[in-house]
Structure formats: structure tokens, C-alpha cells
Chains A and B, each alone.
Chain A
Amino acid sequence: MNIAIASGKGGTGKTTVAVNLALALEDVQLFDCDVEEPNCNLFLGFELEPVEEVTCLVPEINPDKCTLCEKCADFCKYNALAALPNKIMFFPSLCHGCGGCSLVCPAGAIEEKLRSIGRIEKASSQTSLKFLRGILNIGEAMATPVIRSLQRHLDESRPVIFDSPPGTACPVLAVMGCADYCVLVTESTPFGFHDFLLALEATRALNVPVGVVLNRDGLGDSRVEEFCRAEGIPILLRIPNDRMIARLYSEGIPFVKEMPDWKEKFEDMFETIKALVCKSTGVQ
């Protein structure tokens, strides 16, 4: 069972929920898919080791064979190739690695080469929690291939929790699209509600069942709650706007470790999610 922890807005508490949920359970995996800013390990403090490099195939143009026909640059919808009167210029950060340029080149002047865009790391085997994360190299734009590489390390026999990137762009869809259930973490503020609706729309487009965690509960108003009641969306957990929780967070300590009654709340939430997934897939 794959559970994605997502949100529209950034900073609503995705990592907090993902880390605390993972630590409250036995025998689960935690994958930090927010590859542009993987923060889970700030709270876990695990020793990490490299697993693999994530690469993208990019064109290398042989100027001796190139006839300057411009077909490659015309083809590239991401504008990674520019045809100048005397040469073709390539902009690696815009290349999505589709390989189309080398297919349309009539002169066979384009060869594809691997370019590193990120890496996958894992916690050393002594840790009780199986933890992996992806990292997108600084300056790179394409997070999705890193997330896809990370997801290939899934152990299908155990539940996995994905800490998703914020927003509703391609990287988020790559995470939600791979999930059996999506937990949307939000706060009941105008901004939080607005972006929650965007994220909800994304889960509906992907047909992923969804539940809500209300973070900083007590802050703002009741708009998220009223909306969820009207739409029949379960509120799985409320994390109060609590000084102790905030203090532990600021010290990089997952609050389930210091506040044992929360372990049970996260376990309950997991059981609820399990039941909801079974219901939605028709498994008893």
C-alpha cells in the first residue's frame, strides 16, 4: 500500500505528518519524494549512503556530420536546441531526454549521452525504518525523473509513505499517480484552503482516494472542515496549533518520540487509511 502525503500549499506540514506517521508504525518504508528540498532527514538524522545516480539522455552533436538543417531544433518542443547560422547550440537544463532530436536528424550527427541530474540515497541498514530519498542537483529543473528512479526502489511487500513535493505540477502528479491513497495536509486559512482545493482536484483527476489532516488546528476558521463535511471527505487527524509540537519541530524532533499518545493517533490514522483503501479497491 502506497500512501502519498501531499498538499497544495507549501509549509502545511507534509514532512511533519510523513515522518511522524512513519515513526509511529512498524515495518514501513518512508520515501522522501520532495527531491528539490528533501527535508525528512532533518528530523530523522540518519546516516545516508548513495544508492545510484539519476541520469538523463541528452544529445551530443557531432559538428563534422551536422548539416545545419535545423530539424533537431524545430523538433524540440522544450527549446533545448537553438539553430544558429553556423552551429547548433544545446541547453542541457531544458532537455527532457526524449531522444526525438536524434531520431529526426537525417545526418546521424546526434549521439545520446548520459548526463547526471540527481541521485538516490538511503539510510544505512542499521536503522529500523527503511528510508530513501531523491536529490535533484542544484540548478536542474526536472524533478520527475528523480522521483521515478526513487520509486523503483519500492519494496512492494511493505507499506510505503511518500513525502510529496508541494503544489500540483508534474513532480506531485508523479507521486500521487503512484499512490493508493493520498493524505492532503492543510491548515484552515484562506490560502491553505485555496491550495487544498487545487491539490484535491489533482487527486480527483488521478482517481486517488483522499483524506485530510488538519494541521495547526484551532488556527484560522472552519472552512476546510465545512467543505470536507459537505463533500464527504474524511478528516483523518487534527494536529492542534500546540506550543510543545512547535517547539519540538523547531528542534528537529519528531513529536511522536516525545509525546507518546500521538503514536496511537498516527496508528489509528493508518488503520483508517487501510480500511478506506480496502473499501475503494473492493478488497475486504
Chain B
Amino acid sequence: MKICISAFGKDPDSEVDPQFGRCNYFVIIDPDIGSVTSIKNPGSEASGGAGIRAAEAIAGSGVDTLLTGSVGLNSFSILSEAGIEIHSGIRGTVSFALREYQSGKLSLLESPNASTHIGMRKS
């Protein structure tokens, strides 16, 4: 099972970034086989529709579960269409977020929890 975590960096020690559409990287971990890969978020520098580009990339990489913070309406509809389960409430490092997910501490997101352009407010 492939689990994707939105983050500032590329590896399991990176800080997570709770802003899905505008994060720098997606770290993709498959705990069953112990693989760690990452993809640059194509939405991070989009002038608009960042969440759409980000969700498209995730959907195309065969991810089963996404761990993040906030997801807007457009990205949510793509992720739902692609059958990707979303869990929100990540904090700390990527590997910490993964452990929290595995111990059932991250809640399942059943509807969008961010308004559009929320990621633009990043300082």
C-alpha cells in the first residue's frame, strides 16, 4: 500500500507541510516493501489551480492513501475520483506522521477542509 505525505523535503526526516496544494514535495512510502520515493509537487509554483496539479500528480502515481493537513474542493474531487483515502492532521516529520497514521491517530477526511487559495497565505 502506497502512502503519500505532503512535506517540505524529500525524505522521511523532512518536516511535513499541511498545505496540500502548495507543499514542496510528496514523500511516498510503501511500508509493506519498505520503499521511499518522492515527487516534486507540480502545484507548488502554479499561478492558479495548484491543488488540481498536485492531486493529478498523486492520482497518477498510484497512491492509495494521502496524509496531509488541508485539502480544497477541487483537489478533493480529484482525489475522491481516484479513490485515494485522505487523512488529515499531520505534524512533525514525515516518519512521525506515518507512525501516527499507523496507530490510528489521524482522522479520515470526508469533505474538503480548506477554501480555495488557502495555500497562498503561506509566509
Contact = CB atoms under 8 A, between A and B. Distances in A.
Contacts, number: 41
A94 B48 contact: yes
B32 to A, nearest CB: 21
Interface residues of A, number: 13
Interface in A49-83: 73, 77-80, 82-83
Nearest to B75: A82
A82 B48 contact: no
Contact of B49 (A79, A83, A87): A79
Contacts of B55: 82
Contact of A84 (B43, B48, B49, B56): B56
Given A73-B56, A91-B74, A84 B81 contact: yes
Q: Range of interface residues on chain B? A: 10 to 19
A83 B61 CA distance: 12
Contacts of B53: 79, 82
Interface of A: 73, 77-80, 82-85, 87, 89, 91, 94
28 contacts: A73-B56, A78-B48, A78-B49, A79-B49, A79-B53, A80-B52, A82-B52, A82-B53, A82-B55, A82-B56, A82-B59, A83-B56, A83-B60, A84-B56, A84-B59, A84-B60, A84-B78, A84-B81, A85-B59, A85-B82, A87-B81, A89-B77, A89-B78, A91-B52, A91-B74, A94-B49, A94-B52, A94-B74
